[in-house]
């Protein structure tokens, strides 16, 4: 399914396609790029996009964005995800960058934005804590003013890729006596500061993607406060809105559906009843993908005419993640006994493994995809948002 494009936008789409085909690094073509690549490898594509001026589609031109229309942003997102490229680090480019250029002061913009664009600084997100996830307003990490510094103490958790991070953006409590939302501030903390430590959490698929981050008497200069003290909740919500856009993941689902069809063909004889059973379920999911894609195209066309998308981001997050989880479940069923195998090591692009790659990675993908309905605001929370915004409950 394609958006009806003007000749100029169609030419832009062709340019993006050709650029990806010619420039996407071979060493990034590994089975599970999110978990298999080193920090340096995962920055290769970031740096190529930076040189081209395409690293931050969302950003206004004055801060280094490419100045694309909504349609072009959508085309770029669709082409890169269909081609299976690893997106630039969302915590830097999609999350903290827009907060800094929207609410930061000039010194913060000059210090941080260029380094986010170039990939020199790697950011992680310090929102969640043990006991504060969906109910984020209850964060307990404390920041107490001491002259020109805040002294920060607390425990952040589920912090994705903190093991590589140079900086962490944190929600901290600066006024314990105020109502929960009113006492929170948004603070940028250098991960090299004394008192910051990172402990890995190994997830169900065996990968090291998330961490605990401990903050013990960390001295943070007051100049690292974004906006006003105790107004952090406003900036935090702005950031979450950006986090949930483009979660429909049509490109990714389409790629994995194609792969699933090949697996069923290769692994299950056509006269086996399981073949027919799986083919029917694949057909059902394919229809779901098409329906979601049609909805996404409709919303993009409305946004291009200046119409507010309403709670569409929540809808895309729910359906997009359910569909992708469904595909990984069917894939897991289709590979039969291979579903028991978990790799001991990540695979690099040049490493030889006997048999097709799905034999070694489909179980991990299935297990890893459980996270999708939890992070970025759980799917239950997204349903609450839709219930309030659409049904008025």
Q: Which residues are catalytic?
A: 243
**Those residues with Cβ within 8 angstroms of residue 4's Cβ, 6 or more apart along the chain or in another chain:** none
Residue with Cβ nearer ligand FAD (133 or 309): 133
Q: How far is the CB of 65 from ligand FAD (least distance, A)?
A: 24
Closest Cα to residue 299, out of 73, 127, 135? 73
Q: How far is the CB of 170 from ligand FAD (least distance, A)?
A: 9
Alpha-carbon span 255 to 232, nearest angstrom: 39
Q: How far is the CB of 168 from ligand FAD (least distance, A)?
A: 9
Closest Cα to residue 227, out of 145, 54, 109? 109
Residue with Cβ nearer ligand FAD (217 or 380): 380
Long-range contact list for 47-56, CB < 8 A, 24+ apart? 47/118, 47/119, 48/23, 48/24, 49/88, 50/117, 50/118, 50/119, 52/19, 52/23, 55/88, 55/93, 55/117, 55/119, 56/88, 56/93, 56/97, 56/116, 56/117
Q: Give the residues lining the site for ligand FAD (CB under 6 A).
A: 124-128, 133-134, 158-160, 210, 371, 374-375, 378, 380-381, 384
Residue with the shortest CB distance to ligand FAD = 133
Alpha-carbon span 119 to 43, nearest angstrom: 7
Residue with Cβ nearer ligand FAD (96 or 113): 96
Task: Find the farthest-apart pair of alpha carbons in the chain and give their distance in angstroms, rounded.
Answer: 76
Instruction: Judge whether 215 and 152 are in contact, CB under 8 Å.
Output: yes
| CB atoms closer than 10 angstroms to residue 55 | 24
Residue with Cβ nearer ligand FAD (178 or 204): 204
Alpha-carbon span 58 to 272, nearest angstrom: 48
> How many residues are listed for the chain in this entry?
393
Residue with Cβ nearer ligand FAD (349 or 374): 374
Residue with Cβ nearer ligand FAD (196 or 282): 196
Residue with Cβ nearer ligand FAD (85 or 159): 159
Closest Cα to residue 97, out of 115, 76, 79? 115
Residue with Cβ nearer ligand FAD (61 or 388): 388
Q: How far is the CB of 293 from ligand FAD (least distance, A)?
A: 26
For residue 341, what are its two tokens?
Answer: 């195998």
Closest Cα to residue 338, out of 320, 317, 315, 363? 363
Q: How far is the CB of 71 from ligand FAD (least distance, A)?
A: 30
């Amino acid at each position: 399914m394609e958006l009806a494009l003007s000749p100029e936008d169609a030419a832009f789409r062709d340019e993006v396609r050709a650029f990806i085909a010619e420039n996407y690094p071979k060493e990034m073509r590994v089975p599970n790029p999110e978990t298999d690549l080193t920090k340096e490898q995962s920055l290769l594509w970031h740096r190529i996009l930076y040189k081209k001026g395409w690293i931050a589609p969302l950003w206004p031109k004055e801060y280094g964005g490419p100045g694309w229309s909504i349609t072009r942003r959508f085309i770029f997102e669709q082409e890169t995800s269909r081609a299976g490229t690893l997106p630039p680090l969302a915590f830097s480019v999609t999350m903290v960058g827009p907060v800094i250029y929207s609410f930061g002061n000039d010194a913060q913009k000059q210090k941080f934005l260029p380094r986010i664009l170039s990939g020199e600084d790697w950011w992680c997100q310090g929102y969640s804590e043990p006991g504060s996830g969906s109910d984020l307003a209850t964060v307990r990490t404390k920041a107490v003013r001491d002259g020109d510094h805040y002294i920060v103490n607390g425990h952040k958790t589920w912090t994705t890729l903190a093991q590589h991070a140079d900086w962490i953006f944190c929600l901290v409590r600066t006024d314990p006596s105020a109502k929960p939302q009113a006492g929170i501030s948004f603070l940028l903390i250098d991960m090299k500061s004394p008192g910051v430590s990172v402990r890995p959490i190994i997830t169900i698929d065996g990968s090291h993607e998330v961490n605990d981050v401990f903050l013990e008497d960390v001295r943070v200069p007051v100049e690292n406060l974004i906006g006003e003290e105790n107004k952090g909740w406003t900036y935090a919500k702005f950031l979450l809105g950006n986090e949930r856009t483009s979660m429909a993941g049509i490109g990714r689902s389409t790629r994995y559906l194609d792969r699933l069809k090949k697996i069923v063909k290769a692994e299950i004889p056509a006269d086996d009843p399981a073949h027919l059973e799986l083919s029917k379920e694949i057909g059902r999911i394919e229809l779901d993908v098409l329906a979601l894609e049609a909805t996404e195209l409709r919303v993009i066309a409305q946004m291009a005419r200046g119409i507010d998308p309403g709670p569409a981001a929540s809808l895309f997050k729910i359906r997009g993640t359910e569909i992708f989880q469904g595909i990984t479940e069917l894939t897991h069923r289709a590979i039969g006994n291979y579903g028991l195998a978990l790799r001991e090591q990540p695979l690099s692009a040049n490493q030889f493994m006997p048999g097709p790659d799905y034999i070694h990675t489909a179980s991990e993908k299935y297990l890893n995809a459980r996270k999708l309905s939890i992070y970025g605001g759980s799917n239950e929370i997204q349903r609450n948002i839709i219930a309030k915004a659409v049904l008025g409950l």
